């Protein structure tokens, strides 16, 4: 039995997230259909994480087991010929039997994109969040630095999934600007449900003066979701990179 | 009664074209709803042309008559607050009573975008056509030059709408490349049904050696749609500019 890892990217606009759901379009469902057409039904198809409805992936990793004999380097072309145009496989490789896209992943980076301007851009409605207010970048960066390190992130997760612990380690949290676009890049060993979007919402509250940048440690300490900023809409969020 | 001209842009992906159709999402329908909310129901709402389902507009002009007293310079913000995120009004102005967005328009430019690469880009599925073959730009440009001027374009229109004449004047037809993207820009005093997309399809047939570049004059002469290239998919087509 081969274990094959795929690198893919997708526009999440038209999907109810990664994870398979009966009767609903999902990335896992679409990918599974394409694999079935080329390799026969895959034994297990594991993704590196659940992305929510409308969230995108610039780099996503998935693995599946199969007895098919097609060479790995021919899989991207073959799978792309069966995939909808908003999902694209860029690489495939045979990996050791114990490789698991989610369990073997030790670090992920999400980016969130905002853009400013006089009017919203109709071509970015699904790809960035229109935020036409001035940003206090100094305050945002000071607050973001407080999130870096190992903390209990219960204050910035949504209720929904049960996890063993809400302690995570954030490795970096960088904010950059390019023309009208501001990009928030946050890298951690794992993300709680809606954590990336709540972190960005909290930084915008800091920019708006609703939360003090140096109140972040106390906010984390409180573990109280109602003290943090809002969960941002999914359109601006991308899984950008995964590490193994 | 005021006559107000609007400049707008839209992502046509989720619309059945500009023109109002009962029960279907259209740009005219969405714009009419927003105008009604701000100004009351508009007396006539005229667009500068019918774009097909999935076709975009970087610059589109529409006009409507109203008795509303809201200053024109406040209309973009007010309308945008009521419009879906894939339509955006950038300007509004009071214009003379005889201004008519379609009848007063004397020139339009469409652009069509192709991109190349090893695999398709999931973020461009609705915004450019994936064409991973080499392009013979010399042949394409030689063929395009034959379309410039005043000709009968019956060979490159789809049956559908009745027009007085199929003679049109093409002012320029330029092909440019930037990184992985090739842009076809064609400007004319008017376009027959599907003409822009059939012109690009014909140029790709030239690139593929299926039509000789210098056979274009005879092709136009024939008025035979079956001799020209295919009508390209709508995703790559944008109304780029309109002249008054």
**Ordered DSSP codes for B39-102:** HSS-EEEEESSPPPTT-EEEEEEEEEEE-----GGGHHHHHHTTS-TTEEEEEEEE--TT--TT
Residues of A in contact with B87 (CB under 8 A): 122
B87 touches chain A (CB under 8 A): yes
Cβ-defined contact of A119 to B76 (cutoff 8 Å): yes
| Active-site residue set of B | 52
Residue A41 falls inside a structural domain? yes
Which residue in B77, B80, B122, B128 has the most chain A C-beta atoms within 10 A of its own C-beta, making it the best mutation to test that interface? B122
What CATH number is associated with residue B62? 3.30.70.580
Domain count for chain B, please give it.
2
From A90's Cα to the closest Cα of chain B, the distance in A is 7
Alpha-carbon span B199 to B113, nearest angstrom: 13
**Positions of chain B with pLDDT lower than 70, given as ranges:** 160-161
A14 touches chain B (CB under 8 A): no
Taken in order A138, A144, A148, A151, the sign of the CA dihedral is positive
From A164's Cα to the closest Cα of chain B, the distance in A is 35
Smallest Cβ–Cβ distance between B122 and the set A9, A119, A122 belongs to: A9
Q: Which residue(s) pair with B122 in the sheet?
A: none
Residues of B in contact with A127 (CB under 8 A): 123
B90 touches chain A (CB under 8 A): yes
- The confidence score (pLDDT) of residue A137 equals 97
Same domain, B90 and B111: no
Residues of A in contact with B25 (CB under 8 A): none
From A36's Cα to the closest Cα of chain B, the distance in A is 20
Alpha-carbon span A121 to B90, nearest angstrom: 10
Same domain, A113 and A81: no
Same domain, A132 and A19: no
Look up residue A183 and give its DSSP letter: E
Smallest Cβ–Cβ distance between A88 and the set B89, B119, B127 belongs to: B119
Chosen domain end from B94, B125, B149: B94
Which residue in B11, B58, B119, B124 has the most chain A C-beta atoms within 10 A of its own C-beta, making it the best mutation to test that interface? B119
Residue B228 falls inside a structural domain? yes
B56 touches chain A (CB under 8 A): yes
- The confidence score (pLDDT) of residue A43 equals 86
Is residue B128 within 8 Å of residue B13, measured between CB atoms?
no
Cβ-defined contact of A86 to B56 (cutoff 8 Å): no
Same domain, A208 and A133: yes
Same domain, B115 and B234: yes
Cβ-defined contact of A121 to B88 (cutoff 8 Å): yes
- The confidence score (pLDDT) of residue B179 equals 93
Chosen domain end from A94, A118, A138: A94
- One digit per residue, the tens of pLDDT, for chain A of length 244 reads 999 999 999 999 999 999 999 999 999 999 999 999 999 998 899 999 989 999 999 999 999 999 999 999 999 999 999 999 999 999 999 999 999 999 999 999 999 999 999 899 999 999 999 999 999 999 999 999 999 999 999 999 987 667 789 999 999 999 999 999 999 999 999 999 999 999 999 999 999 999 999 999 999 999 999 999 999 999 999 999 999 9
Is residue A15 within 8 Å of residue A27, measured between CB atoms?
yes
Same domain, A216 and A123: yes
């Amino acid at each position: 039995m081969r274990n094959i890892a795929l690198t893919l990217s997708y526009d999440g606009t038209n999907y109810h997230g990664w994870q398979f759901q009966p009767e609903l379009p999902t990335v896992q469902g679409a990918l599974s259909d394409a694999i079935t057409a080329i390799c026969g039904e895959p034994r297990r198809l594991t993704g590196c994480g659940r992305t929510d409805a409308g969230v995108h992936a610039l780099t996503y990793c998935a693995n599946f087991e199969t007895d098919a004999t097609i060479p790995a380097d021919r899989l991207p072309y073959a799978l792309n010929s069966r995939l909808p145009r908003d999902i694209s496989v860029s690489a495939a490789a045979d990996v050791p039997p114990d490789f698991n896209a989610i369990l073997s992943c030790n670090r992920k980076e999400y980016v969130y994109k905002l853009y400013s301007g006089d009017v919203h851009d109709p071509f970015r409605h699904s790809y960035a969040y229109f935020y036409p207010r001035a940003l206090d970048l100094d305050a945002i960066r000071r607050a973001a630095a407080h999130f870096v390190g190992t903390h209990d992130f219960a204050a910035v997760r949504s209720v929904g999934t049960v996890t063993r612990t809400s302690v995570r380690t954030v490795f970096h949290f960088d904010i950059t600007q390019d023309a009208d676009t501001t990009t928030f890049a946050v890298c951690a060993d794992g993300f709680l449900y809606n954590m990336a979007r709540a972190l960005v919402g909290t930084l915008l509250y800091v920019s708006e003066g609703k939360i003090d940048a140096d109140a972040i440690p106390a906010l984390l300490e409180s573990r109280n979701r109602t003290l943090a900023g809002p969960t941002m809409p999914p359109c601006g969020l991308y899984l950008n990179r995964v590490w193994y």
